[in-house]
């Protein structure tokens, strides 16, 4: 395992419509793009209603016709185009452990990633530009699209070899149709899953440490380690908020308590359609929400390497794709999963909401949700570690998240993640607005947006010397 270049996300218009595809697993019908946790009520149950994500309507099935375009520059070609072709065909479209199977499983078959034509990999084509201009992603996208002008596609991934643009390993529009990869990144499934997540609108998912008794007075800790979008790598499924953002959970799988009671949560990615997979609650009148999920390591699901535990997320202004994992303590070390332990309580005095884990087994977890009244007595957990960083209210989400030098947004390093830099931080020399305006002129499907950049993966220089140690 090594470091690699950071990934970034560039704001862009949503991709064009897609075709229907058959489901691959038996979870209940859900909507658009977000899989979360299913929950079953205990004897102390309470009424539930549909969440703000409106999971009652099943998501339309969709097909992503994906094109991977290999490109050469006038002065620099791909180091090994045959290997790049084979890696791309296998890791984007292969029958096992690929982008196609990952998103089919997470969406319960509602999203199908298929080759746009043939095996889905085109080229290499020589672009009318030198590799010194490789950071001009929009020009590269325009020329690559022209090279496959006769191919109908929904998303395009461009693969290049350049000694420039070492600030990123992968780059993607968020949301949008384009992604860019350095040549070695097509052998890296974590990078591929991560960048396509940006195309679908998923932001980097961080973890925040909140002041005791508050879900909103929080500071950045590191990435969540619960999803490819939060440093989790390719062996973790999408989190409940991400699934909810795409409506990949049904009404029956999502509980929105109206009074105090206990919910039995089924692991988010457990097989079948029964059981409650997520609790989804409004957080006061701010527009923020709280989502609670239960995850469990299970090699038969996308959560191949996800630690068992109940996780609590804050959803800023109802934007599930920007949810952050929250807790009231720093990680105690690499082995600390930062989930909410059995017997412990997380509470917000302003909204008078508290969440307590009563029990957790491989099959599910019992979570006590208290609404109104006096919060349960505080547990004896250690206070959050002091920090020189100011606490940021939840309403300011976007000012305390991952930055361009973060080394763990993809999640392929053996050491604990470093604390991300400020989210929304501009990347020197790139010019967010320029990216957006140039992207709007790309030929093919519409490419519009505000040019928001998010950085997130790992630096490249150490990666090149130790690619053989990469974890898949």
Q: What is the pLDDT of residue 465?
A: 34
**Residue 133: pLDDT band with limits 50, 70, 90:** very high
The predicted structure's pLDDT at residue 409 = 72
pLDDT digits (tens, 9 = 90+) for 68-96: 999 999 999 999 999 999 999 999 999 99
pLDDT tops 90 at residue 413: no
C-alpha dist (Å) from residue 288 to 39, 253, 282, 322, 396: 21, 21, 6, 11, 11
SS3 call for 368? strand
Coil, helix or strand at residue 352: coil
Give the residue, 334 or 322, on which the prediction is more confident.
322
Percent of the chain with pLDDT over 90: 60
The residue-averaged pLDDT of 174-201 equals 97
What residue ranges do the domains of the chain occupy? Answer: 8-17+60-203+401-469, 39-59+205-396
pLDDT at 368: 97
Tokens, residue 158: 């461009």
Asked if 4 and 242 count as a contact pair (C-beta separation under 8 A), the reply is no
Q: Is the pLDDT of residue 30 over 70?
A: no
Tokens of 173: 């529009």
What pLDDT shows up at residue 376? 52
Three-class secondary structure of residue 198 per DSSP: helix
279 vs 210: CA distance, rounded Å: 20
pLDDT at 374: 62
Q: 8-17+60-203+401-469: which CATH topology?
A: Collagenase (Catalytic Domain) (3.40.390)
Six token digits for residue 9: 């996300």
Average pLDDT, the chain: 75
- CB 240, CB 278: distance < 8 Å: yes
Pairing of strands 206-210, 217-223: antiparallel
pLDDT score for 95: 98
> Which distant-in-sequence residues (6+ apart) come within 8 Å of 380 by Cβ?
none
Whether this prediction's pTM lies above 0.95 is answered by no
**pLDDT value, residue 52:** 43
pLDDT, residue 336, reads 77
Query: What is the rounded average pLDDT of the residues 406-432?
Result: 36
Q: Looking at residue 16, what is its pLDDT?
A: 33
pLDDT band at 27 (very low <50, low <70, confident <90, very high): very low
* pLDDT score of 9: 58
pLDDT, residue 337, reads 82
| Cis amide leading into 414 (omega within 30) | no
Tokens 């973790």 belong to residue: 236
Model confidence at 67: pLDDT above 70: yes
On the question of pLDDT at 115 being above 60, the answer is yes
User: Is 315's pLDDT higher than 60?
Assistant: yes
Which of 168-172, 399-403, 462-466 is most confident?
168-172
Tell which wins on pLDDT, 57 or 111: 111
| Between residues 106 and 11, the one the model is more confident about | 106
State mean pLDDT over 110-132.
97
- Give the pLDDT score at 76: 97
Percent of all residues in the chain with a pLDDT value above 70, rounded to a whole number: 67
Region 424-441: mean pLDDT is: 26
207: which strand partners?
222, 325
What are the pLDDT digits (tens) for 237-256?
999 999 999 999 988 999 99
Specify the pLDDT at position 81: 98
Q: What's the distance, CA 54 to chain centroid?
A: 20
Q: What pLDDT, on a 0 to 100 scale, did the predictor assign at position 70?
A: 99
User: What's the token pair of residue 340?
Assistant: 């909410």
Average pLDDT estimate for 430-435: 26
Is 435 a residue whose pLDDT tops 90? no
pLDDT for res 410: 72
Task: Give tens-digit pLDDT for 251-292.
Answer: 899 999 999 999 999 999 999 888 999 999 999 999 999 999
383 near 214, Cβ under 8 Å? no
335 pLDDT band, cuts 50/70/90, is: confident
């Amino acid at each position: 395992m090594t470091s690699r270049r950071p990934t970034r996300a560039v704001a862009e218009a949503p991709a064009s419509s897609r075709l229907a595809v058959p489901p691959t697993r038996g979870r209940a019908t859900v909507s658009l793009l977000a899989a979360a946790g299913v929950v079953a009520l205990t004897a102390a149950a309470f009424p539930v209603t549909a969440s703000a994500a409106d999971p009652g309507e099943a998501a339309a099935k969709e097909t992503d016709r994906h094109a991977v375009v290999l490109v050469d520059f006038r002065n620099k070609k791909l180091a090994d185009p045959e290997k790049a072709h084979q890696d791309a065909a296998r890791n984007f479209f292969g029958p096992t452990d690929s982008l196609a199977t990952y998103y089919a499983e997470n969406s319960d078959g509602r999203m199908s990633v298929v080759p746009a034509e043939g095996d889905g990999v085109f080229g290499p084509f020589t672009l009318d530009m030198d590799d010194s201009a490789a950071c001009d992603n929009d020009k590269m996208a325009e020329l690559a699209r022209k090279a496959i002008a006769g191919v109908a596609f929904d998303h395009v991934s461009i693969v290049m070899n350049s000694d420039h643009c070492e600030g990123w390993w992968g780059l993607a529009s968020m949301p949008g149709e384009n992604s860019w990869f350095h040549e070695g990144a097509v052998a890296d499934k974590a990078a591929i899953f991560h960048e396509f997540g940006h195309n679908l609108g998923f932001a980097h998912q961080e973890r925040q440490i909140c002041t005791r008794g508050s879900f909103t007075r929080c500071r950045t800790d590191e990435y969540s380690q619960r999803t490819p979008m939060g440093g989790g790598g390719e062996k973790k499924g999408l989190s409940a908020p991400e699934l909810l953002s795409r409506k990949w959970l049904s009404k029956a799988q999502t509980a929105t308590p109206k009074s105090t009671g206990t919910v039995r949560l089924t692991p988010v990615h457990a097989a079948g359609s029964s059981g409650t997979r997520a609790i989804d609650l409004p957080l006061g009148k701010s527009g923020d929400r709280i989502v609670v999920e239960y995850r469990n390591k299970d090699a038969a699901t996308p959560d191949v390497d996800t630690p068992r535990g109940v996780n609590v997320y804050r959803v800023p202004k109802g934007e599930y794709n920007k949810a952050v994992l929250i807790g009231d303590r720093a990680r105690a070390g690499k082995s600390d999963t930062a989930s909410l332990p059995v017997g412990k309580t997380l509470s917000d005095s302003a909204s008078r909401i508290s969440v307590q884990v009563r029990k957790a087994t491989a099959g599910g977890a019992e979570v006590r949700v208290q609404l109104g009244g006096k919060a349960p007595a505080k547990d004896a957990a250690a206070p959050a570690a002091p920090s020189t960083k100011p606490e940021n209210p939840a309403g300011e989400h976007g000012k305390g998240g991952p930055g361009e030098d973060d080394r763990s947004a993809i999640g392929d390093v053996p050491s604990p993640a470093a604390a991300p830099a400020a989210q929304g931080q501009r990347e020197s020399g790139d010019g967010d607005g320029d990216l957006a305006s140039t992207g709007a002129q790309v030929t093919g499907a519409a490419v519009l947006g505000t040019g928001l950049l998010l950085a997130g993966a790992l630096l490249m220089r150490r990666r090149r010397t130790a690619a053989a140690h990469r974890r898949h």
